[in-house]
Amino acid sequence: MAIVFDGTRESYVGGLSEFLDSGQKDVPEWVTALRREAISGFAKLGFPTLSDEEWRFTNLEALRRGSFSIAENGISGVSEKSVDSCGFPGLDCLRLVFVNGRFATSLSDAGDAGEGILVKSLSEAISEHGDLVREHLARYADYEKDAFISLNTSYFEDGIFVYVPDGTVLEKPVHVLHVSTDEGSPLFINPRNLIIVGQSSVAKVIEHYVAASQSVYFSNAVTEVVCGENANLEHYRLEFESRKAFNFSTLRVNQQKNSNIASHSILCGGAIVRNNVHPVLAGEGCNSDIYGLFISEGRQHMDNFMRVEHASPHCDSRQFYNGVLDGRSKGVFHGRILVHEGAEKTDAKQTNRNLLLSDTAQIDTKPQLEIYNDDVKCTHGATIGQMDEEALFYLRSRGISMRQAKIIMLRAFTGETLEHMSIDSVREALEGVVMKWFEQRLQNGKRG
């Protein structure tokens, strides 16, 4: 019997015991205890509503009315070939595949990551390296304050686990492919990822979410990242979920002294999407570069929620988010910078630029500075506009067609964020996706 949630708070709370009975028997007791604790968090919180300040622009009514169930089947329907087609040409990487939140061993190739490095599924890590996982899992993403983190912590089945010991370079990027499939009724999928980069270590992880079919489902991913002293992590979140999916995700990063992270979020799929990026610059001298690009059309809704928390002195953070919106789609950029009392010499900068391709697309952009220290430099800026007519005319006056001129302008706009990706093959693949998306817009549209 499938475990079904009818959308109410009670069903999500009540479903946990059934979930624990069904597939979670061999799991260590501490994990079960964690799930129980987390669901009591959700029991208190419930799903957020429009009256929650942080959810003002995103209506979850449809999610609350939806019925979802835990996947029953295995990886059937996902072929090696379809997985290969999600790869990045020429990229030498480790690949781990998850289908509906479960590890697909036969489709994965974790290869040899290197001396002392662990790249495997979280469920394996829990049984093989319990203490290491326990030290970090659910220590950063707060299941008492965030309903989606509560749900994920209660119901996660699997996800990626990356551990890079001190002083080690993970040579190959890790490509984590999360595939959702259609099992006839809408699924509830909770990928859970944990990435630990040790002192002075280096890693690159690409989380990649795709759909095998354009079905309705509720996916809710949580990734925790621990960046040790002087560590360096580049993280990608590429969201190409089904156009009917409810998609929620959280990237929670804990940065120790002098560590660097670059985070890239690309949002493309989904019906209602919320992407939370929440780095805490916990040690001195950290650097966080957070890039995002969201492209939406039709009635898609994309909510980008940033919370950059400066908790120590001498840290720099940069947020660069660009949005391209067409049709009747809606975008939200909520950029919060929180500077704690002791965080002197904070340098935080935030930029959000939006390009509206139609008269009916909408964007709400909201910077929010919360500063408890005088000795800081915080700037933010947002722009909303159509494509620059003067520039289009200039290009056309040189013989370039209207269509090509628009493509050039769009490439320049999206390039502002994509150009910061250090993995060329990923960047090029994304440029290709963006161009294809845009060419389709031009074909369908009155514009062109």
What is the 8-class DSSP label of residue 173?
P
Q: Which two tokens stand for residue 160?
A: 């990626």
> 56: helix, coil or strand?
coil
Interface positions with another protein (CB under 8 A): 388, 390-391, 393-402, 404-405, 408-409, 411-413, 415-416
Of 27 and 409, which CB lies nearer to another protein in the complex structure? 409
Closer to another protein by Cβ: residue 106 or 401: 401
* Non-local CB neighbours of 102 within 8 Å, separated by 6+ positions: 71, 74, 75, 157, 158
The least distance separating another protein from the CB of residue 395, rounded to whole angstroms, comes to: 7
With respect to another protein, which residue has the nearer C-beta, 33 or 391? 391
Least distance in angstroms from the C-beta of 412 to another protein = 3
Please tell me the distance from the alpha carbon of residue 185 to that of residue 338, in angstroms, as a whole number: 41
In this structure, are strands 118-121 and 160-164 parallel, antiparallel, or unpaired? antiparallel
In Å, what is the CA distance from 308 to each residue of 86, 276, 289, 294, 345? 31, 10, 10, 19, 15
CB of 56: closest distance to another protein in angstroms?
32
The sign of the dihedral angle between the CA atoms of 239, 270, 277, 334 is positive
CB of 358 to another protein, least distance (A): 19
- In sequence order, the β-bridge partners of residue 175 are 95, 206
DSSP H or E run through 121: strand 118-121
Are the C-beta atoms of residues 126 and 27 closer than 8 Å to each other? yes
CB of 420 to another protein, least distance (A): 13
- Integer distance in angstroms from the first to the last C-alpha of the chain? 52
Nearer to another protein, 33 or 412 (CB): 412
Neighbours of 445 (CB within 10 A): 13
CA pair distance 188, 193, nearest whole angstrom = 16
Residue with Cβ nearer another protein (64 or 411): 411
Residue (55 or 413) nearer to another protein, CB: 413
At its nearest, how many Å lie between another protein and the CB of residue 427? Answer: 14
Ramachandran sector of residue 36 (left: φ over 0; alpha: ψ -120 to 50; beta: rest): alpha
Per DSSP, 90 falls in state T
CB of 389 to another protein, least distance (A): 8
Give yes or no for a contact between 416 and 355, defined as CB atoms under 8 angstroms apart: no
Q: 96 vs 355, which CB is nearer to another protein?
A: 355
Q: Which is nearer to another protein, 76 or 397 (CB)?
A: 397
- Write out the H or E segment, with its range, that includes residue 232: strand 232-240
CB of 357 to another protein, least distance (A): 17
